[in-house]
Amino acid sequence: MRFAIKTRPEHQTWEEVRDIWVAADEIPLFESAWNWDHFYPLSGDLTGPNLEGWMMLAAMAQATRRIRLGCQVTGMIYRHPAVLANMAATVDIVSGGRLELGLGAGWNQQECDAYGIELPPLRERFDRFDEGVEIIVRLLTQATTTFSGKHFRLTDARCEPKPVQRPHPPVTIGGRGRTRTLRTAAQWAQQWNAIAQGPDDWRELKEVLAGHCARAGRDPAEITCSVNVRIGDDLDSAIAQAAAYRDAGADLVILNLPQHARPDSLQPLADACAPLAA
């Protein structure tokens, strides 16, 4: 089993989050660090501060040297996919080829209402998501892209310079939708991530993904299957959860750190996780 960290950039200063990622960069057990793509906090005072995810990734690309960087996950509704492809290429270049490209359909009604961003009904939202993922992959890999879909149209569109990673930065698709999300993951993803309700729930979702892979002619072993585990006051309980997900077939556990976590808390966390990585 492999390990990563995730920080929620709500109710924290830039310095706090930066220092955690810099500390994680020095601990080989943690292969990647993740934030989220929200503009409002999701807990506590919803009027409080929340750092923007992609600007944070660009800055972290310069603050770190080894650890891979990702947004878990970027809401397709917030940015045109061609714009997002250019953002991804730039962050991959700035980081020297360390971007994990997290993508999701989006869901936050409060943010959309506040900013005047349309949140389509579920079917349309996932239609847009499918088109958007294809557009992003094509822009990152092809010299020019022409695309005529129901929701997006591109004509001889370019994305230059191309990312460092070839054919493109690994795509992480996040979500648990059995019909649409997991089907899209089977087609496009190098990693699938879900926030599960327990190992049995996660195992069932992984089996659904495997079914979609079979229908798409894709080897499910090509997809890293990851799950989130929240770190709270009871570290032993979190480690036991991670072990249970390992036994359920998870490849990667992303440890969701508490707000205001201190950099010196990461080495003891890594030491506790190390036996599961052996």
Taking only the tens place, the pLDDT of each residue in 226-247 is: 999 999 989 999 999 999 999 9
User: What gap in Å lies between CA 253 and CA 76, rounded to an integer?
Assistant: 24
Q: What angle do CA 23, 222, 209 make, to 5 degrees?
A: 100
| CA 205/CA 228 separation, integer angstroms | 14
| 125-138: pLDDT as tens digits | 999 999 999 999 99
Domain count, the chain: 1
CA angle in degrees (0–180, nearest 5) for 119-36-238: 125
Whether residue 171 is predicted with pLDDT greater than 80 in this model: the reply is yes
SS3 132: helix
Whether 52 shows a pLDDT value over 80: the answer reads yes
Average pLDDT of the residues in 255-268: 96
Which pLDDT band, with edges at 50, 70 and 90, does 140 fall under?
very high
The domain in which residue 254 lies consists of: 2-277
- CA 122 – CA 162 distance, rounded (Å): 32
Judge whether residue 49 has pLDDT over 90. Answer: yes
pTM of the model: 0.95
Q: 130 phi and psi, to 5 degrees?
A: -60, -45
Task: Report the pLDDT value the prediction gives residue 195, as an integer from 0 to 100.
Answer: 86
What is the phi/psi pair of residue 37, to 5°? -110, 75
CA trace torsion 259, 27, 199, 182 (10° rounding): 90
The one-letter code for the residue type at 57 is L
Interval 180-200: pLDDT, tens = 999 999 999 999 999 889 999
Quick check: 278 pLDDT over 80? no
Q: What's the mean per-residue pLDDT of the chain?
A: 96
When pLDDT is cut at 50, 70 and 90, the band that residue 167 belongs to is very high
For residue 106, the 8-state DSSP code is -
Distance CA 155, CA 217 (A): 30
Give the C-alpha separation, 174 to 189, whole Å.
Answer: 9
Q: How many CB atoms sit inside 10 A of residue 129's CB?
A: 25
The predicted model gives 109-123 an average pLDDT of 96
CATH number at residue 123: 3.20.20.30
Q: By the 8 A CB rule, do 118 and 112 touch?
A: yes
The separation between the first and the last C-alpha atoms of the chain, rounded to the nearest angstrom, is 8
pLDDT of residue 230: 95
Q: CA-CA distance, 36 to 55, in Å (whole number)? A: 11
**Nearest in space to 57 (alpha carbons), one of 10, 24, 17, 23:** 17
